[in-house]
Chains A and B, each alone.
Chain A
Amino acid sequence: MLKIIHSADWQLGKPFGRFATDVRNALAEARLDAIDRLGETAATVGAGHIVVAGDVFDNVEPGDRIVMQALSRMERAPVTWWLMPGNHDHARAGGLWSRVRAKAPASVRIVDVPEPVEMEEGAWLLPAPLEHRKTTNDPTAAMVDMATPPGALRIGLAHGSITEFGASGESSNIIPPDRAKSAGLDYLALGDWHGYLTVGDRTAYSGTPEIDRFGREEPGGCIGVDVRSGETPEFKRIETGRYRWLDRRWNVASIDQLDREISDLRFEARLSDVLLSLKLTGVTSLADRVAMFAAIEDRLAHEVRHLELATEELIAQPMAEDVARIDVQGALADATATLRARIEGSGPDAAIAAAALERLYIEALRFDAEAVR
C-alpha cells in the first residue's frame, strides 16, 4: 500500500489584479501557504508523496519569484513532490519547466514527459503531461501502453476533463471516464476541475487547495489516498483552503431583511476569510436602499476580506416619504420631480437619473444630519 496526497490546480502566480492591493497580496500569499498546508497534511496522514495533477502555475511563464517561493516551500516539507504540467503551465521546450527543473531541490520531481517513473519500489507514476494549452487528443491514451513491472502499483496522473463534463462537446484534453480501468491503474489522480469530484472508484479530482474564484462554495482541499495493489483505493477529502469565495444573491426589500441575511452569513463563515460577491435584488424605498448601502458599506464591507457588490437589480422605488424627505416644495422638490420624470421616462439616462436622485436624497439627509448637529 502506498499513501499519497493528491493535489492539483495550484494556479500559483494568479494576479488577482482587480482586487485591492492588500487583498491581492493576501490571496497570492494564501496560494503559497497552501503548499505548506499540503506538506503538513502529508505529514499528518503519513504520506511520502504529493502528486500534483497539473496547473501548478497559473500561466506558462510566471516570474522567478513565484517559482522560487513555491520551490522553497516545497523543500521544507519532508515529502517527494511530483509536479506535472497542466494546460495553464503546459510543457514547452526550453520553457517554464526547464527553469523549474534547474532550480528544483531533489525532493521535487517534474514529470513533463509521458513515461512511467518509479516513485518508490513497487509504485509507478504514469503521467500524462500536457504540451499544449488545448489538445484534442486524450492525454491519458499513452497510459495503456506504459509498461510497469508486474505487481507494481500504477498511479495515473493527468489533467483535463472527463468526457462527461463536456456538455458542449468541445472540451479539450478529454479523458475517458474508464481510463483507470483501461490502463490498469490503481488510482488516477486528475486535475483541472477546481472542486472535489470522484469518477468511479479509482478516479478523482482533488480540486484546488485554495479556491481562486467565485462560484465554488466549499473551501479548497486535497485528497489523501491509500493506493492498494489490486484493490480499490481508499481516499478522503482533506480541507486545506483558507479563503471562502461566496456568491450571494439577496432579495431584500428592507433594511431588516438585509440585517437578517448578514447575520446568517456571519454564522455560516468567518467573515474575515470571506470574499463575498453580493448581488442585491428587490424593490425598495429610497430610504431603505440608502440605509442598506450604508449598512453594507459601513459594516459588512469592512468585515469581509473583499466585497463585490452589485446593486443594479435592487430597484429603488422612491416613496412619497422619500421625496418629502428631500423637500416638499421649492427648488429641491422641483429637482426631484425632474429626476423622477426621467427615471419613469426610462430613457437611456434613466439609470443615471436614479443614481442622481439617490445622491440628492443622500445629500439632503447629510445636510439634515449636519443641521441637527
Chain B
Amino acid sequence: MIIKSLEVANFRKFRDPLRIEGFTDGLNIVVEPNETGKSTLLEALRAAFFIRYSAKTELVRSYVPIGDDVAPRVSVGFHVRGEPWTLEKQFMKSPSVRLAGSSGRKESDAAEETLQELLGFERGNNRGSDLETRGPLGMLWVEQATALAVESPNRIVRDTVRGVLESEVGAVTGGRRFDAIRSNVEVAYSALRTPTTGKSRGDLASAEVRVAAATEARQAAEANFREYESTLGELETAKSRLKILERDLVDPEVSAQRKKLEADLNTAETAALRSSAAEAQLGRADEVVKSAALRIDRLDGAEQRVATAESLVEEAQSKREEVQSKLDTTSNEEKSQRQALEAAREVSGKADAELHAARERSRVFATAAGARRSIEARKALAGLEERERELEGESARGIGGDDLDLVAKLELAAIQARARFEAGVVKVEVELSEGASLRIDGEAADAGSVDVFKATRFEMGDAGGIIVRPPEGASLTIEADLAAAEGERDAVLKRLGIKSHSDGIALNERAAAAARELIALRKQIAAMCPGDPSIALAPGADALRAYVASLGEVLTDVRVPTDDIDALQTAVTDAKLREASVSGRREDAREALSKAERDKAKADADLAGAIRESDAASENLQNVLIAGGRDDLEAALQKAQRDRAAKLDASESAREGSSAFDADAIRRRLENIDRATKRAGEERLELTAAIATLESAILREGTVGPAGRVAETRDEEEAAIFACERLKQEADTLDMLRKALAHAAEEASRRFLAPVTARAGRYIQRLLPGCDLSFSDELELAGVSRAGIDEACGGLSRGTQEQLAILTRLAFADLLLEDGAPISLILDDPLVYSDDARLETMTDILQDAAKRMQVILLTCRSKAFRHVDANRIFLK
C-alpha cells in the first residue's frame, strides 16, 4: 500500500484545508515543527480508514476544531497492489464516505465494507479503542506513545501471522486440543498438588492425613494391646505365685519340721533347767565350804586376840607403876617451890607498902604548895582584870563607819537646808540706836538680824512699825525643810552621843588605842596562868579562878617529908625480882606435876582398856568355842569340800547335756518358720487383691477388643498407605505428563515462531549483536537473551524497548508483506531515546525496509534524520 496524498479540512488544528502530496514508494520523512499537527495527520489517516463516517462518538466529536461548528473532512489518495484509490470522508455534518477506484465508486456502508476488505481490517467500535480489529495497518501506524511499548500485535495480525507461519513452518501446536488436554492435566494435577510448590493438597493431602492418623491409631492400639498383654502376663504371674504360696502354706514338711523343732526346744529347755539347778547346788556347796573355813579362821583369830590382850595388860601395869613413882617425886618438888614463892611474895608486899606510904606523903606536900602558888597568882590577876574591864569599855565606845558617814551626810544636808533658807528669807538687820526698843510682832526683840519668812511687824519703839513681807509662796516650806534636816542631824548625834562629826572621829581614835592595849593585856593575863599539872590545874585564867575558889578559906600547913623514895623503890624492885624467879621455878614444878598426872591418867586408862580387851577376848573365845572345837570344825570343812567336788561334777555333766541343744537357735528357727508363714499369708492376701484388680482391668479392657483393634488399625493403616501411594503415583504420573506437555509446548512455540524470530533476529543482530529473541504465544516479544542470560523486556532501557518495538513490527510487516497484505509503516516521531549510533543503525534498517514497503516518518527533528537519504516533505 502506498499513500499518495492526504488532505484534511476542519480537522482539529487544520481548520483550513491542508493538502500533502508527493509521498513516494520508499522512505518519506515528513518534517514539521512541534505543535504544527503532525500527530493530527496520523489521527486523520486513522479517522479516514478506521472510523465509520456516520459515527458520533466522543472521538469523532473531538475531530471538530474547538469552537467551530463545521464538518471535519479527510481525503486520502493511495495505491493498493498498484491500483489507485481515493477515499473521502466527512464526519458529523452530512457525514459521507466515498471510495473511488478503478472498479468504480462506492459510498456509505458499501464503501466502508470495501475498504475493510481491501485493507484487511474489521469494523471496530468507532471509539478508537478497539485496536484488535485494525489489522496490519493498526499495528504499523505507530503513534508517538505506543511506539515505546513492546506489545503483542492485534488479533488480526496475530491470526494472519499464524496463518503465514502455519503455511511456512508446516507445524501446529495442536491448538485448542492441546490446550484443552493440557488444561485438563493441569486441573487433575492441581487437584492433588499445588502446581508451583508441589505441595500435597485435596485428595492426596487428605490421604496423607489419613495415613498419619491411621499410623497413630495403629500405634495407640498396639500400645494399648501391649499394655493389655502385660496385664495378662502380670495376672498369670500373680496367679502362679498365689498357687505356689498356697501350696507352701499347707506344706506338710514345714509343719513336721515345726513339730520336731518344738520337741527339741522342749528338751533343750529341760536340760537347761537341770544345768542351772546343778550350778545352783554347786554354788551352795561352795558357800558351805567357805563358811566352814571361815569358822576355823575365826577360832584362830579369837585365840590370838586373847594372847595379845594379856600381854597388853601386863605392859600397861608396869607402865602405870613407873608413872606413879614419877608423879610422887614431882608432887613433892612442887610443894617446896610453892612455899618458896609465898615467902618471896611476903617480902615484896612489905617493900611495896613502904614505898606507897612514902609517896603519899610526898604528894600531899606537893598539892599544898600548888595551892599556895595558885592563890598568889589569883591575887595578881585581879589587878590586871580591873584594867582589862576599863579598856573593854573604852574600846567599845567607838562609832561604826556607817554611822559616821551618816552623820557627815546629815550635817551636809543641814548646812544645805540652811543655805536654802537663808536665800529665801528676808534678812532684816536692825541697828538700834541706843535705847531704842524693838518689838517684833508685838514681842520685844534685841536681835540685830532677823530672818523674816512671813509678814513680820517690826516696831521700833514708838516710832511705829514696819511690816516686812517676804516673797509669797516658798518661805514656809524652806523653813520646814531646814527644821527637818537639823532635827534629823541632831537626833543622830544624840543617838551616837557625840556633838559633831569631828567629835565622833576623835572618839573613835581613843577606842582604837584602848583596843590595842587590851590585846597586850590579855596576852599578859594568859602568861600569868600557865596551869599546874601537879594540882590538876588547866592553863587559863578561868581554870585558875575556879581552882582557887574551890580551895576554901583555910590552907593546912604541911611539913616537908623526909622519906628516901629511891631506896624504897630499889628495895621494891629487888623483892619483885626475887619473887618472879621463885614464881618461875614454881611454874616449872607445876608443869611437871601436871604432865606426870596426865601420864598417870593415861597409864590408868591403858591398863583399864587392856583389861577390858582381855576380858572381851576371853569371852569371844568362849563364844567361838561354843560352835565347836577345832577338831570338829576341821572335820566339817573336809566334809563340805568333798560335797562341793561332787556338786561340781554334777554341774559339769548337766552343762554338757544342755549345750547339746541350742534353745535360742531352735527358737529362732521356729520364729523364722512362723514369720515365713505369716508373710506368706499376707502375700496371699496381697496377691488375691492384685489378681482381683488385674482381672477387673482385663475384663474392662478386653470388652473393647484390644487385639481386634490392633488388627483393624493395621488393616486401616495398610489401606491408607495403599490409597495414598496410588494417589501419589497418580500425582507423579500427572506431574511427568504436565512437564512433558509444557516442554512440548515450549518447543513447538519456539519452532513455530522461528520465522518471526529469524526475521526480527536479522534486524536485532544489527542492533544488538549476539542477542536472541523469544516470543510469547501471543506473539509478543517476551524477552531477549544475551550471552545465554534471559532478560524480560520490561527490564530493558526505554530506548532499547522502543527500538525492539519498531523492529518486531518491521518483522511482522515483512511477514505480512510476503503474505500479500497491504502494508504501510508510519512512525510518529520515533527513536527519541536512541543514541546516535543506534539511530544510525535504525535508520539504515528503515531504509532497507523502505525498499520493500512505503515508510513514512513524521518528525520534528529534521537534524536527526538529515543523514538519511529520503523523500522529504515539509509542512507549511
Contact = CB atoms under 8 A, between A and B. Distances in A.
Interface of A: 13-19, 58-66, 92-96, 98-99, 327, 329-335, 338-339, 342, 349, 352-353, 355-357, 359-360, 363-364, 366-367, 371
Contacts of B173: 330-331
A332 B177 contact: yes
Contacts of A327: 174, 177-178
A298 to B, nearest CB: 19
Nearest to B236: A93
Contacts of A371: 177
B711 A59 contact: yes
A335 B236 contact: no
Interface string B703-714: 111111111111
A65 B704 CA distance: 8
A352 B738 CA distance: 12
12 contacts: A13-B705, A14-B711, A15-B716, A18-B719, A59-B707, A63-B703, A330-B748, A331-B745, A331-B748, A332-B174, A335-B741, A355-B729
Contacts of B722: 18
Given A63-B705, A363-B184, 8 more contacts: A95-B702, A332-B177, A332-B178, A338-B740, A339-B737, A352-B732, A355-B733, A360-B185
A12 B713 CA distance: 16
B744 A62 contact: no
B235 A94 contact: yes
Interface centre among A98, A342, A359, A367 (most CB of B within 10 A): A359
A13 B708 contact: yes
A335 B704 contact: no
Contacts of A364: 177, 181
B190 to A, nearest CB: 15
Contacts of B709: 63
Contacts of A93: 232, 235-236, 239
B710 A338 contact: no
Contacts of B174: 327, 330-333
Contacts of B718: 17-18
Contact of A356 (B180, B228, B714, B736): B736
B156 interface: no
Most buried by B among A62, A65, A94, A355: A94
Contact of A59 (B232, B710, B736): B710
Contacts, number: 157
Contacts of A59: 705, 707-708, 710-711
Interface in B505-550: none
Given A339-B736, A363-B181, A363-B184, A99 B708 contact: no
Contacts of B736: 339, 342, 349, 352-353, 356
B698 interface: yes
Contacts of A331: 173-174, 178, 741, 744-745, 747-748
B71 interface: no
Interface string B214-248: 00000000000100100010011001000000000
A367 B184 contact: yes
Interface of B: 171-175, 177-178, 180-181, 184-185, 225, 228, 232, 235-236, 239, 694-695, 698-699, 701-716, 718-719, 722, 729-730, 732-734, 736-737, 740-741, 743-745, 747-748
In the complex, the 3 A-B pairs of residues with the closest C-beta atoms, listed nearest first: A17-B715, A63-B705, A59-B707
Contacts of B225: 61
B831 to A, nearest CB: 38
B737 A15 contact: no
A32 B861 CA distance: 100
A322 to B, nearest CB: 15
Contacts of B745: 331
B777 to A, nearest CB: 11
Contact of A64 (B185, B228, B705, B711): B705
A61 B236 contact: no
Contact of B705 (A17, A61, A338, A339): A61
Given A93-B235, A94-B694, A99-B699, A61 B714 contact: no
Nearest to A16: B715
B734 A356 contact: yes
A355 B173 CA distance: 23
Contacts of B715: 15-18
B451 to A, nearest CB: 168
Contacts of B177: 327, 332, 364, 367, 371
Contact of A360 (B235, B698, B699, B737): B737
Given A94-B698, A331-B745, A359-B185, A62 B705 contact: yes
